[in-house]
Amino acid sequence: MDIDTRARKLFEAGVAAADPAAGVVGAMGWAAAEGPEPGGRWQVVALGKAALAMSAAALKALPEGTQALVVTNPENAETAVPRDGMTLIAGDHPVPGAGSAAAGRAILECLRALSPQDRVLALISGGGSALAVAPAPGLTLADKAQVSRLLLGCGADITQMNLIRQQLSELKGGGWLLASKAPVTGLILSDVPGDDLRVIASGPTVAPIGTRSRAAQLCRELGIWDALPEAVRAHLAQGGEASAVPQGRNRLIGANGISVAAMVAQGAQKGPFALEGDVAALAPRIVALISEMAPGQTLVFGGETTVTLRGDGLGGRNQELALRVACAAEAAGVTGDWRFLSGGTDGRDGPTDAAGGLVGPESCATARDEGCDPQAALARNDSYHALKAAGALLVTGATGTNVADLAVLVRG
């Protein structure tokens, strides 16, 4: 097996280990143990990039006629097979739009219509923060979208981003628990490092991470306070403690660490560090490993990085990490054959049709031969076009799951 194929096969094994349907099936006995009271019914509400597979598995296990409200990304919704009892809404990602607002309204209306005798089965997966939004009173969809753009470009990690998002929303940080008179049981697929349930999809079925005061302080620390919409600054400046939320039942059914373990089971070794921090700092650490690796050795990594936006190019954190590794390896004069793959398990990296990148020793030279300067592309955050010129984009299509990012480093 050549090293390109090995890298791809390992990534595919990691994605396969995040099968959301299998996770739901395995947890349905626990979830259904506290069912509706007499006269009540189940209501499924599924949110995230794995919502279709998760809801399909749940509906098979629940009584015939159970209703499901399903919110997912457009790529998955376009190929969805209609099911009886399912209402499907396509939200927007990574920046919320009109579809996200429609999804947020639908979720709140659905939850508010339930009675104490009913039971909610909440199926949560990554991407939910943007796919469904319900701005807090006094805020607009445009405000939420602008905050998302600022957070995506300032180098904030996912916990910081979602702490702030929770304070601007009626859905996030336990919002589903506050909206529903019916008890809520959550099955959750993690796309965040550490698997903190408060962070995944901004924690709709758990208590919030922080307060408005902490969110305001964090915006100042991240350098985005002055760029926030005026209404958002006013909202956060009100301060105050977080509202108490009812208790929900929640269970984790899949995570990035499970996918990394599946890759290791295929003969790879777990890398010495996680995918975390800004890609500009992480890339040299990955390059330093290449010269230390034995021929044929393979390292795998999991996590989620950040990118600081300084230009108006096209790309995502996995594509920029891959391109930075290629450029850093070339600059360091790394010899021998190697491959580095970095990809999002959902099949989409940033606002592009690629999951990430797969680079090697010739990637930068090939891009230049095609008229694209990789270093100039990095300066404007245009990793997508540089990798495309190099023939190094990783394109998988929508996978129907999401457990953050996976990477593979292979020494030839």
Q: Where are the beta strands (DSSP E) in 159-223?
A: 184-189
Confidence of residue 337 (pLDDT cuts 50, 70, 90): very high
Residue pLDDT, tens place only, 208-267:
999 999 999 999 999 999 999 999 999 999 987 767 889 899 999 999 999 999 999 999
Q: What is the pLDDT of residue 267?
A: 96
Q: What is the pLDDT of residue 240?
A: 75
Region 302-307: mean pLDDT is: 95
Q: What is the pLDDT of residue 243?
A: 72
Confidence of residue 160 (pLDDT cuts 50, 70, 90): very high
Q: What is the pLDDT of residue 79?
A: 87
Region 138-147: mean pLDDT is: 97
Q: What is the pLDDT of residue 83?
A: 83
Q: What is the pLDDT of residue 239?
A: 81
Cβ atoms 273, 299 nearer than 8 A: no
Work out the percent of the chain whose per-residue pLDDT is above 90. Answer: 94
Burial class (CB in 10 A: 0-12, 13-18, 19+), 35: middle
With H, G, I as helix, E, B as strand and everything else as coil, classify residue 125: coil
Average pLDDT, whole number, for the chain? 96
Cα dihedral: 226, 231, 236, 239 (round 10): 130
pLDDT exceeds cutoff 90 at 354: yes
Handedness of CA 313, 315, 318, 324 (dihedral sign): negative
SS3 content of the chain, % helix, strand, coil (to 5): 40, 15, 40
